[in-house]
Structure formats: C-alpha cells, structure tokens
Structure 1
Amino acid sequence: MSFPPPHILVFGAGKSSTVLIDYLKRETRRRQWKLTVADADIETVLQKLGTEMHTHAVQLDITDTEKRRSLIAAADVVISLMPPALHYHVALDCLDLGKHLLTASYVDDQIKALQQQIADKELLFLCEMGLDPGIDHMSAMQLIHAIKAKGGKIHSFLSHCGGLVAPESDNNPWHYKISWNPRNVVLAGKAGAVFLKNGEEQALSYEQLFRASGNVTIPDLGELAYYANRDSLSYIPKYDLQDCSTFIRTTLRHSDFCKGWTTIVDLKLTDEIVTYDTSTLRMSDFLQQHLQQHRLSVTPEQLSSDAHIQAMLLSLGLNSEQPIHKGICTAADILQWRMESSWILEPQDKDMIVMLHEIEYELNGQYKTVKSSLVVKGEDHLRTAMAKTVGLPLGIAAILIAEKALPEKGLHIPIIPSIYAPVLSLLAKEGILFHEVED
C-alpha cells in the first residue's frame, strides 16, 4: 500500500520566512514531498516559491476559517509564522484535524491550556523553535547537560542574544537596522524584566530597563551592551537550574542604542494610548503636541543634554518638517514609521546575529567558566541572519517530524536532548556553529 508524500504547510511569508522557504524548497524537492505557503500577499509567496513544481502558493486571510482549515486538513506538519495572537486559531485547527504544529513564538497561556489535549492526540506542538527563543534554548541546554553529566554544579547562567547590523553595514548613529518585525522593536522591553542575581530576585521597570544595561565582550567583535529580557525566572525550572544564584536572559545592542532608547522611553515616544490626527501634521508639530500632551518640560530643540543622543534622535527626523499624513496615530505608530525609513536594510546591507552563553560552575572543588558564542551574518537584505536563524530551526524540525525522526509527543519547547541534539547537528551543517572557550 502506497502513502502520499508528506506535505508541509507554512502560514506567513514575511521578513523571517525567506531562508525557511528556501530550505524547505530544497529539502522537499530532494525528498519529492509537497510544500504549501500561504499569505495574504500572494505576490510575495510567488516570488519566494519561484517555479518549483512541488510547491503551491495560496492567498489567504488567516481569519478565513474555512479556507484555513482546508489547508491544514491537507497537510501533515504546519508551521505558523503568524503574529503570536493568531497562533491559537491555527493550534485549535491542528488539534482538531490531528496535525503537528511548529512556531517560533513563546508558549502563551492559551496554547498551554491545550497541553493535555495535544498529548492525548499524540501530536507534537513544538514552540519557541526560532532564534531567541529557540537556538538559545538548544545551545544552552546542550551546555548545561554536558556540565551536569561530568558532575559540575552551575552557579551562574547568563544568556545574551541580539539581532544587530553587521559592522560593514553600520552607518547610522544608532548602530542598528531593522531585520525583523519593526513593531517588536518599538515595543521591546515594555513589560520590564525579572531575573535572579546573586541569589536575589530583581525586577526592572520599562523606565529602568535600558539604564541598567551591562556590557559583554564578544570574540572578534568587541564590546556590546545588554539589557534584561522579560521574565528570566520562568526559565529557571525549565533549564533545571534551581540551585543557580544568578540567572539572566538578555538582549544585545550597541551601548549607544541603549542610551538613546532610554531617552525615547523618557520622552514617552513608545506610547500606544494617546492619539494624534496626523493628516496636517509635520514631524515637528507632532513632537511639540506630544511633549505638551505628556507635560514634558523640554523643548523640541533640547531633546537631550547629551549632544550625541540628541543627534541620534534628530537622525530619526523627530523635529523635522517632514509631513506625516498617516491619519490617526499614536506616538508608537509614528516612531515605527520613522524607524522603518531611517533604519532600513538596504539591498547590499548585512545584518548580524550574536549570541553568547556565560556559565560559571564548580567541578571537583574548582571554579570554571565556559563561554559559548555564535556570530551569523546575513547575505543581503532578504537572506538575513535573522531569517536564517529564525527559519532554519523551524524548517529542520518540520523535516524531522515528517520523517518521524522526532519521537516526542505533546507540547514542547526545544530543551530536551531528543529534540535539540538532531536539530543542532543539522544547524551546524548549515553554518550555524558555536565557539566555546573554557577557563
């Protein structure tokens, strides 16, 4: 009896999908499988799929329940690159129709509530399978398990990761260009952060977060700044590091970025509540209205006492005569619009992913430190390092699931050897390799 070839379905063809789609095209062609990519923008899908005969492009409004379910029903493995709030609808369909699901997003409460049903149906829902979260989990757990296997006791764990611009393409005062969802860049850090440091739980508000940045040195790159990332505490039991005295997950940026963003936060330019009618406003008009609205005692010409930071802010056109004409907007909307123009990755530009794990542990009475670093550069503004490191773990896992090479069932993130070991091995073949130094 012959069975139809495995069929992989991808929802979403945005910035992070390019390398994923390229990888799946290559691997499904080699295996003579089927690949479908669905997105609201059919031209983008057609451009990324090309003329591959085993692939299928679909125009889809993800809220079209009937069409969405028909696509899922025809697939074996589903990858959702939709905004996190939309994963739940895809997850319910996958659960009902008996399909495996992969996402790069954090596990939220809605997905977590499906845990028992996923296990009962013997499905694998694998979340946090991108870069951060994703590669960070897998590489960290490989280190942690190796240290514990030789009898080491871990006292301190710091994990840093950031999407940056490569030095050869760094030509703006923020030392940053956008290679992923720009809205996430605008809103990063709004929830503040909680973490464990020297045995004490610590919390930072949004207003404190970028002021409290630290610094690390990356081999062959030099010094970068970091700020604490969301809720580190929830990962302590997941990483089985309850005896750790320091546990912090962070985001990497250039030190100037953290200084500049502190001022952005102080000026409330990421506010999502107050709206402005921009139909007749120039940027300078908006800025003046905004400062008055929030009773900020600063003139548009005196955005910062630091001349370099003021130059950074002005490079975003905050006090320019540029017309806005974007209808009813919040400050966050306007800031995003200016960032997308000012921090654009030009066709020849390269982005860069940097990751560093720092682990201090005790073994046979001796204290040791291991540092494991990853630097990945993009090829151009489409095949970015961000697209590569977010997309490849998803693509590799989808192939392994379709081949029945990942035996796990239920709701998982990639922190167990049966998942991370084969994925990291295949990532290494794609050039995503960590460099370890131990003292």
Structure 2
Amino acid sequence: MKKILILGAGQSTPSLISYLLNEAKENNWFVTVCDMNLELAKQRVNGHPNGIALEFDVNDAAMRNKLIEESDIVVNLLAPVFQYLIALDCLNFGKHCVTASYENLRVAELHKDAVRKGILILNEMGLDPGIDHMSAMALINKIREKGGYVKSFISYGGGLPAPEVKSNPFNYCITWNPRNVVMAGESGALYKEQGKQKVISYQQVFNRTWEVDIEGVGTFEAYPNRDSLIYEKIFNVKKTETMVRATLRYPGWGETWAQIVKLGLPTENFKIPNLHQKTYAEYIDMFLPLNISGTKIETKTANYLGISPTGKIMNNLRWLGLFSDEKIGGKVSTSAEVMTDLLRKKLPLPSGGRDLVILAHEVIAKYPKEKREEKIVSTLVEYGDPHGDTAIAKTVGLPAAIAAKLILQNKLPLSGCYIPTHPSVYVPVMAELKKLGLKFKEKIQKIK
C-alpha cells in the first residue's frame, strides 16, 4: 500500500485532500494529513477509511523524519519558509515531494542530488504559481507549433470575492493565507513594456495600477507582480517586447494599500517588544514621526500621509480599526503579524458567499511566414461553492493532488527539481483539470 503524507490542512487544502482520499480508495493508497491543529486535520479527513489525521509540529525533527521515511510521497502545503527543510528531508529519505509555493533557490540547487536519488521534487504546483505556468506553456507551445512566436505576454491572476459579495469597503475577502496578502509587493516589480525594462519599488507598486476588463465578470485593478523578466527564460520566449505578470484586485484596493505600505505596516524585519499589549492606536503611532502635527492619531496619520482626514482612504483605515483603543492581543511579535491577524478578522468570506479565481493571459503572437499577428486572450474564471470548496481551494489544491497521483502511478517520468513548465507535467495535469471543470476559454482576434 502506497502512502501519501500531506503536511498542512489550511484553507487551500480541502480539494486536494478529498481528491487524494478518493484516489486512495480506488488505488489502495493511504493518506496521512498532518497539521498543528488536529481538529482541522480530522475535519479534512472526515473519517475516511483510507486516511488518518495527526497533530504535527514541523520543528519536531524525530516525528517529521519518521513520517517522511514511512511515506512514498510528501505533499507539502506548509508555509514557504519550510520548503527547503521538507525537500531536504525528502531527498535524504529518497521520497518524492510536491509543493504549491514558489521554488526556493536552495531547493532548486538540490536538482542533481534529486536526479541521483531518482526522486522528483515538483514545486509551484498550485494556482499562481502553478496553473498560470502550465496554461502559459500550453498556449506558447501552440503558437510555436503554428510557426509563430510571442511578441507580447501579459498575465493576470487574482483570488477575490465574487462580484455580488459586498461585505466590506475593501471589496476583498481572505480565502487563502492572509500573510501573502499583507506582504504582497514587498519585492517591488520588474517587467518589460514595449521593449523597455521597468522597475517599480515596493513603495510605488500599489500606486502604479491600471484597469483590466475580464469578459463576463467586470472591471478590475491590476498591479505588477515580482520579477516578470525571469519568465522570458522560463517560458523560452526571447523575442518579447512586453512581458508583464500582474495581480488583480477590485478597483480602489491599491490606493488604500499604498498608504498602508507608506506607513510601513507590512514589515516583518524585526520583533517589537510587548506588541500584543499595545492598542491599535498606539501601534500606528509607533510608525509616525514625532514632529507630525495633530493631537488625534487620525489627524496625525492623515497629515503624515498627505491625504484627506475625511476621505475614502482614511475611512478604510478607520474601518479596519487601526485607530481604535482595542488591545492587539494574540501571539504577535511583528507588524506584519498584526496586519495578518487584523485582515483575517476583518475580511472573512461571509457565510454563503462565493469566492472567485481569475487567470487571464493576453498574448500577441506573430507569424513571420504568414506576415500576420493575432491577439489571444485565454481566461479561466472559477467560482467557489458557497456550501463547499472555495475556488482557491480547488485551483491551488487540485494541481498538486493530480501531480501526486501521476507520480505514484509512474506517469511523470522525471527526476530532479522542477516547476511545471515541462510538457511531461503540464500536459497530463491540464488535461485532468479540464475533466474536473477547470478550463480556459480562448478568444482570438486578428491584428494584421
């Protein structure tokens, strides 16, 4: 009996776990689901005869090593900071590993060792990163097969509440790890537009937004995401004049979040003593210079930011509770942890509400022999089930689950460290996702 070890049972895992439990029943496999929260792990397993839930501390090396050694494959959904640790353990014990987070550079350096061990360490098998890479590669290869090349590549991704959900002034709900929302944009952005490289600092990312229309859904706001230029090499598209990867939000998100960044709240560079004992107003005051005019914390904040004390942005900050006399509480030691807890409390997906996932590629393809160009828009729009799995859970969890199944069935003939840009990975995974209803719609427009 082959054994699957799943590390982490958080918001992105329900679809992954249920998929692998169903496959375990069909294939005589066994699934062990581990999480710090035992009750959550039990909820995910839901009494399935081919599964068990365990309380798990990733820092317990003896337990971690025992579980990995006894498994055939590890699906790691823990925080990215643990990616290298788990990959190294899998390498030591000769076990395959699948993750949904961005590939750590130290993990990538394990490639030759993984080849020698004959194991596959497959990273970025989620939504973004994951489905975005796989769908992009499928589209790019289709263009190549027709004798063309990519002249412009713009990719958008977003996990959002459905348009009908109007539960807060931010038009946003937490359906995945809130830390990722808090720390978004921290690396700034690097991209290419009309042949020119563009660099945006963290402080300016949320000020440099633009409108994007998604057919059948509505108008969104986009901001550039990380280093887009590395994808020229990853996707092997060396003739691009434009290469941009961007994140989608509802209009208005950027103007408020830009001020939160200006205050310096999304930082985890240092631990602040006794932070949990402070009120939110005292917390904000720590980030303001001493010489800022004003007697009330709201006035001082507005003066520092150079915004209206009665405008929309200040109302949003006030709604979050950032000027309140409520104690922060909890187990927080960094400013980013305060903001993470605050977003989790203030921006939940309401009961009965749906979330929404959007992935869209806007590609201009050039066909030299035919002397023509065309614009291809390839879009995935997926809504969550208000009484079942969220769209985030489906789109993040299913790619990793499918990959794990294919590895156990010896249908992924690779060894080493990979992301899903290899056809051996993305062709079968995208085919299975399509069967499960996760499919892209293409619209092609002739340019000249």
Q: What's the TM-score bracket when you normalise by the shorter of the two chains? A: over 0.9
Query: Counterparts in 2 of 1:7-406, with a 5 A limit?
Result: 7-272=3-268, 273=270, 275=272, 277-278=274-275, 281-292=278-289, 300-302=297-299, 303=302, 304-305=307-308, 307-326=311-330, 329-363=333-367, 364-380=370-386, 383-406=389-412
Query: Retained in 2: the 8 A contact 1:276–1:328?
Result: no
Q: 1:59 to 1:329 in 2, by over 3 A?
A: closer
Counterparts of 2:215 and 2:436 in 1: how far apart (Å)?
21
Partner deviation per Cα, 1:195-234 (whole Å, 9 max, x = no partner): 1111122111001111111221101111111111111111
Paired residue total = 434
The Cα shift of 1:379 comes to: 1.5
Query: Retained in 2: the 8 A contact 1:197–1:248?
Result: yes
Counterparts of 2:132 and 2:154 in 1: how far apart (Å)?
11
The Cα shift of 1:101 comes to: 0.7
> Secondary structure of 1:345's match?
coil
Counterparts of 2:178 and 2:282 in 1: how far apart (Å)?
24
Partner deviation per Cα, 1:165-219 (whole Å, 9 max, x = no partner): 1112232111101111111111111111111111122111001111111221101
Taking structure 2 as the reference length, what is the TM-score of the superposition? 0.92
The Cα shift of 1:275 comes to: 2.6
Unaligned residue ranges in structure 2 (runs of 5+)? none
Counterparts of 2:150 and 2:413 in 1: how far apart (Å)?
29
Partner deviation per Cα, 1:345-390 (whole Å, 9 max, x = no partner): 2332221111110001112111210001111111138721111111
Counterparts of 2:245 and 2:92 in 1: how far apart (Å)?
35
The Cα shift of 1:323 comes to: 2.7
Query: Retained in 1: the 8 A contact 2:266–2:336?
Result: yes
Counterparts of 1:62 and 1:265 in 2: how far apart (Å)?
31
Counterparts of 1:276 and 1:382 in 2: how far apart (Å)?
41
Counterparts of 2:293 and 2:274 in 1: how far apart (Å)?
23
Query: Could you tell me which amino acid in structure 1 is paired with residue 347 of structure 2?
Result: W
Counterparts of 2:196 and 2:419 in 1: how far apart (Å)?
27
> Secondary structure of 1:151's match?
coil
Partner deviation per Cα, 1:107-136 (whole Å, 9 max, x = no partner): 112101111111112211110100000000
Counterparts of 2:293 and 2:257 in 1: how far apart (Å)?
19
> Secondary structure of 1:196's match?
strand
Query: Retained in 2: the 8 A contact 1:226–1:252?
Result: yes
The Cα shift of 1:15 comes to: 1.2
Identity fraction in percent = 38
Query: Could you tell me which amino acid in structure 2 is paired with residue 300 of structure 1?
Result: I
> Secondary structure of 1:117's match?
helix
Q: 1:327 to 1:147 in 2, by over 3 A?
A: closer
The Cα shift of 1:315 comes to: 1.3
Aligned-pair Cα RMSD in Å: 1.8
More off after superposition, 255-264 vs 373-382:
373-382
Q: 1:391 to 1:296 in 2, by over 3 A?
A: farther
The Cα shift of 1:271 comes to: 3.3
> Secondary structure of 2:198's match?
strand
Counterparts of 2:276 and 2:409 in 1: how far apart (Å)?
54
Q: 1:274 to 1:52 in 2, by over 3 A?
A: closer
Partner deviation per Cα, 1:45-68 (whole Å, 9 max, x = no partner): 111101111112222211222221
> Secondary structure of 1:34's match?
strand
Counterparts of 2:343 and 2:289 in 1: how far apart (Å)?
23
Q: 1:320 to 1:36 in 2, by over 3 A?
A: same
